[in-house]
Structure 1
Amino acid sequence: MNKPKNKSESKYFATAARMDEAFLELIEQKDFAYITVKEICAKAGVNRSTFYLHYETVGDLLAETAEHLITQFVEYMGADPATFIARIGERPLEELYLITPEYLTTYLSYVKEHRRIFKATVEHAATLQMVDAYRDLTRYVFIPILDRFGVPAADQSYVMRYHISGLMAIVDEWLRGDCEDSIEHIIAVIQRCVKRR
């Protein structure tokens, strides 16, 4: 009895993976705004009803792809995120500045490598509503770090929004220029903007 169910689930996920691949190929060739369901289906070898079984809109596919990239990024970092999170309370404060060249080089290299999808994500951030994708990162990483720096709980959401918005604005501007400026230059800009006490 379980065998058909597993086979069916496997087929469902394999179809979704084909559509993801088709979407990634298309976004490398053209802007997100010009990608249609028809093109995705043709490239993935599926019909429109299959697309709508998985997604309501192309924006849903973009959101799923962006969330997948966030998960992949953690693996790309090479560090064990669980160990980092568990040790936040005992790490020296210098290691908790997430704007060091060590962290930023890895992050910016990943963004540059996947710039088309990140650019589409930034351009459609409001409609994608990707709050859930960052909720755990906020709860388990940013808030404990702000606690270590003595930021009062009542101020943490403001401080976090300020820093994340600023960082994203710089990355957004870099993406608009197709990541032409060097990663080293962008790191220097970020570090000049975020002054330590």
Structure 2
Amino acid sequence: MTEASNKKYTTKELIIFGLFEMMMEKPYADITVKEICEQSDVSRMTFYRNFHTKEDVIFGQFETVYSTFIKRLVIQNRFTFFDVATTFFTIIKENQLMMEAIVQNDLSNFLLNALRGYIKTLVDNEILKTREKSTEMLVAMISGGLTEVIITWTKDGMKQPVDELVIFASKYMHFKTN
């Protein structure tokens, strides 16, 4: 990245972009913090001020995407299952390169763990309403299924339209649709 383009991004974003750029060229397991720092043009001290591990960088990106998702829901002020699912799948599609890096590096366990926490929060805050009483098992089933749908969709180049995924999810995810 050029110095001029660095001004547009926070240090955290530069580090996240650096790691995800590298993940498209090199296996995640082989990437070191030192290499992330070089790619991002930040010092190791700066890296560690923002993240403890390279895993934290990935979860930092997930948190950014989730934050964008929540902001859009608030702006839309519509919380039906169809609105929430459409917003969710749209944001995932907008982050297709991130998803490709996750899939290419076999990091679906990171995605699963993040989704489990996010779905639990959405259910606990009644943004998503389940047909059954919410339990850890239900959240686990939904997050596992959603992880597999996202991975399959990513591997297929995200060709299936968002509205088709929303209809599919409405049939199988055990959420109330209105």
* Bucket of the pairwise TM-score, normalised by the shorter protein: 0.5 to 0.7
Is 1:162 aligned to 2:159, yes or no?
no
Instruction: Tell me the residue number matched to 1:15.
Output: 11
Identity of aligned residues (%): 19
Paired residue for 2:87, among 85, 103, 106?
106
Q: Is 1:179 aligned to residue 162 of structure 2?
A: no
Q: Which has the larger radius of gyration?
A: 1
**Aligned in 2, Cα 1:69/1:31: closer, same or farther, shift over 3 Å?**
farther
* Residue 62 of structure 1: how far off its partner (Å): 0.7
Matched, 1:136 2:121: yes
Amino acid aligned to 1:70: Y
- Paired residues in the alignment total 162
Structure 2 unmatched ranges of 5 or more: 1-8
Deviates more, 1:34-43 or 1:106-115: 34-43
Shift of 1:139: 1.6
Q: CA deviation at 1:127?
A: 5.2
Contact 2:108 2:147 in 1 (8 A): no
- TM-score, with structure 1 as normaliser: 0.61
| C-alpha RMSD over aligned residues | 3.6
Q: Deviations over 1:106-162 (max 9, x none)?
A: 22121111023235557435357535555532321268x24xx5x34xx63333333
| Alignment check: 8 A CA contact 1:174 1:180 kept | yes
Q: How does 1:15-54 map to 2 (within 5 A)?
A: 15-27=11-23, 29-30=24-25, 33=28, 35-54=31-50
Task: For 1:73-152, list aligned pairs within 5 A.
Answer: 73-77=69-73, 78-80=75-77, 95=80, 98=81, 100=82, 102-120=83-101, 123-126=106-109, 129-130=113-114, 132-141=117-126, 145-146=129-130, 149=131, 151-152=132-133
Ranges of 4+ aligned residues in structure 1 off by more than 4 Å: 24-27, 119-123, 131-135, 194-197
Q: Is the CA contact 2:65–2:91 (under 8 Å) kept in the aligned structure 1?
A: no
Instruction: Tell me the distance in 2 between the aligned counterparts of 1:182 and 1:31.
Output: 30
Q: 1:136 to 1:32 in 2, by over 3 A?
A: farther
Amino acid at match of 1:47: S
Are positions 1:65 and 2:49 aligned together? Answer: no
Q: TM-score, normalised by structure 2?
A: 0.66
Cα distance in structure 1, aligned partners of 2:27 and 2:34: 14
| C-alpha displacement of 1:48 | 2.6
C-alpha distance in 2 between matches for 1:163 and 1:142: 15
Matches of 2:157 and 2:19, distance apart in 1: 20
Query: Which structure has the highest helix share of the two?
Result: 1
Q: In the alignment, what sits opposite 2:4? A: none
Q: What letter is aligned with 1:163? A: I
In structure 1, what is the Cα distance between the partners aligned to 2:175 and 2:77? 26
Amino acid at match of 2:91: Y
Closer/same/farther in 2, CA of residues 178 and 104 from structure 1, 3 Å limit: same
